[in-house]
C-alpha cells in the first residue's frame, strides 16, 4: 500500500494530513518509537505528484510515519496529530488555504480506523471546539515522498521554519486551544495543591503507585457527575462513560476531554501498558487497555486517589456548567 520505506521489518505506518507538512514533521519525529517521518503527498488520483502539481491531482500534503508498535501505540500518534491542527477548518490550515492543505487521517488497517474514529468522537464530544470536527478518516492510498528540500525542513532551515510556524497562526492556535483554559475550578497552582494531597493521593499521582482494588473511593460510585484531576481540577472523565469492569477500579470507555489526558508508553520494555496522565498537572492517573466495551473498545482504568468527583448539582457552582448538556 505504501511505497515510502520498502521493507518494514515488523514496523507500522501511520499517515496524517495536517496542512503544511513542514509543521507536521517535527512533532512526530521526536516521539520515542518513531523510526522515520517522510513529508509527501497522498489521497489523490494522479500519479507522481510534485509540489507544483499535487493539489491539482487531488493530493494532500501529508506525513508518513514509520513506527515500532512495540514501543509506541497508534493512539499516541493520533493524539499528537490532533494537537497540531485546527480540525474544524474545511478549507485549509491557518494561513495555507486550499484543498491540498485540508486535514485527514489515512488508516492502514481496521485497527487504526477504529482508534481514529473513537478518538474523533471523543474530541467532538469534549466541547474543546465550538465548530464541528471535519477532519476526514479515510483509507490510506499510495504515498509519494516530496522533494528532498522539503524533508526535515525544520532542521535544514530552522529560522525560516520558526518564523513560518509563528506567522502562520498555527502556534497561537495550539496555545489557545490545547493549553489549560482559565475557567473557574481549574488552577495552575500545582505545587500548593500537591502539598495538600493525602499520602495515598501523593503516592498515586506523583510516584505512579496503584491503589488497592475494591477498596477505593469511586470504584462503585454510580452518581451522575464528572471526575476531575485532584491536583489541577482539569476535567477528565464523566459518569455516563463509567462502567463496571470487574477490576475494582473506576473504569471509563472514554476520556471526557482529550485535551486533558496524555497517553504514555511505559519506559520499561517488559511493561506494555499505556500510562494515562493528566495533561496539565502531569498526574499519574492509571492505564489504558483495549478490553473495554464497544464502540471504542477502550478501558481507562483509573485510580480513585487521582480524582475528585463533582456531582451534577454542583457543576455550575464549581465552574463546569458546560458539561451539564451531557446530562440532559
Give the pLDDT band of residue 184 (cuts 50, 70, 90).
low
The fraction of the chain above a pLDDT of 70, given in percent, is: 94
Closest alpha carbon to 2 in 107, 100, 76, 84? 107
CA neighbours within 13 Å on the CB side: how many for 211? 29
Q: Sheet containing 60-67: which strands, arranged edge to edge?
A: 136-139, 103-107, 12-18, 60-67, 34-42, 144-145
Position 101 scores a pLDDT of 97
Instruction: Break the chain into its structural domains and give their ranges.
Output: 12-178, 190-327
CATH class of 12-178: alpha beta
pLDDT in tens, 77-102: 998 999 999 999 999 999 999 999 99
Confidence category of residue 260, pLDDT binned at 50, 70, 90: confident
d(CA 5, CA 216): 49
CATH code for the structural domain at 190-327: 2.170.150.20
Note if 301 is an active site residue.
yes
> Among candidates 236, 51, 61, which has minimal Cα distance to 147?
51
Task: Provide mean pLDDT across the span 208-220.
Answer: 96
Residue in 20, 23, 208, 221 annotated catalytic: 20
Verdict on whether the full-model pTM lies above 0.75:
no
| Residue 265 reports pLDDT greater than 90 | no
Catalytic: 20?
yes
H helix runs in 183-312, sequence order:
190-195, 199-207
- As a whole-number percent, the residues of the chain with pLDDT over 90 amount to 61
Amino acid at each position: 500500500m505504501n511505497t515510502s520505506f520498502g521493507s518494514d521489518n515488523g514496523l507500522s505506518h501511520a499517515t496524517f494530513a495536517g496542512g503544511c507538512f513542514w509543521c507536521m514533521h517535527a512533532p512526530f519525529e521526536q516521539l520515542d518509537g518513531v523510526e522515520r517521518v517522510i513529508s509527501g503527498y497522498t489521497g489523490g488520483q494522479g500519479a507522481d505528484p510534485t509540489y507544483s502539481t499535487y493539489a491539482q491531482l487531488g493530493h494532500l500534503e501529508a506525513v508518513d510515519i514509520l513506527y515500532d508498535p512495540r514501543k509506541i501505540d497508534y493512539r499516541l500518534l493520533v493524539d499528537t496529530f490532533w494537537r497540531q491542527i485546527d480540525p474544524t477548518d474545511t478549507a485549509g490550515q491557518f494561513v495555507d488555504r486550499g484543498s491540498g492543505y485540508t486535514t485527514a487521517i489515512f488508516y492502514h488497517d481496521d485497527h487504526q480506523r477504529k482508534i481514529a474514529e473513537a478518538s474523533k468522537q471523543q474530541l467532538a464530544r469534549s466541547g474543546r471546539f465550538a465548530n464541528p470536527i471535519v477532519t476526514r478518516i479515510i483509507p490510506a492510498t499510495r504515498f509519494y515522498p516530496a522533494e528532498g528540500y522539503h524533508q526535515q525542513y525544520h532542521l535544514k532551515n530552522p529560522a525560516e521554519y520558526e518564523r513560518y510556524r509563528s506567522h502562520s497562526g498555527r502556534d497561537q492556535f495550539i496555545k489557545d486551544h490545547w493549553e489549560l483554559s482559565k475557567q473557574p475550578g481549574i488552577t495552575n497552582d500545582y505545587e500548593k495543591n500537591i502539598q495538600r494531597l493525602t499520602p495515598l493521593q501523593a503516592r498515586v499521582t506523583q510516584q505512579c503507585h496503584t491503589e488497592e482494588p475494591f477498596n477505593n473511593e469511586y470504584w462503585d460510585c454510580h452518581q451522575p457527575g464528572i471526575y476531575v484531576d485532584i491536583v489541577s481540577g482539569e476535567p477528565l472523565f464523566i459518569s455516563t462513560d463509567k462502567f463496571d469492569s470487574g477490576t475494582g477500579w473506576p473504569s471509563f470507555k472514554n476520556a471526557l476531554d482529550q485535551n486533558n489526558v496524555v497517553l504514555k508508553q511505559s519506559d520499561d520494555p517488559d511493561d506494555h501498558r499505556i500510562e494515562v496522565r493528566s495533561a496539565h498537572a502531569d498526574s499519574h492517573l492509571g492505564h489504558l487497555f483495549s478490553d473495554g466495551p464497544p464502540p471504542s473498545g477502550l478501558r481507562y482504568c483509573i485510580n480513585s486517589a487521582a480524582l475528585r468527583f463533582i456531582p451534577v448539582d454542583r457543576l455550575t457552582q464549581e465552574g463546569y456548567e458546560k458539561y451539564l448538556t451531557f446530562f440532559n
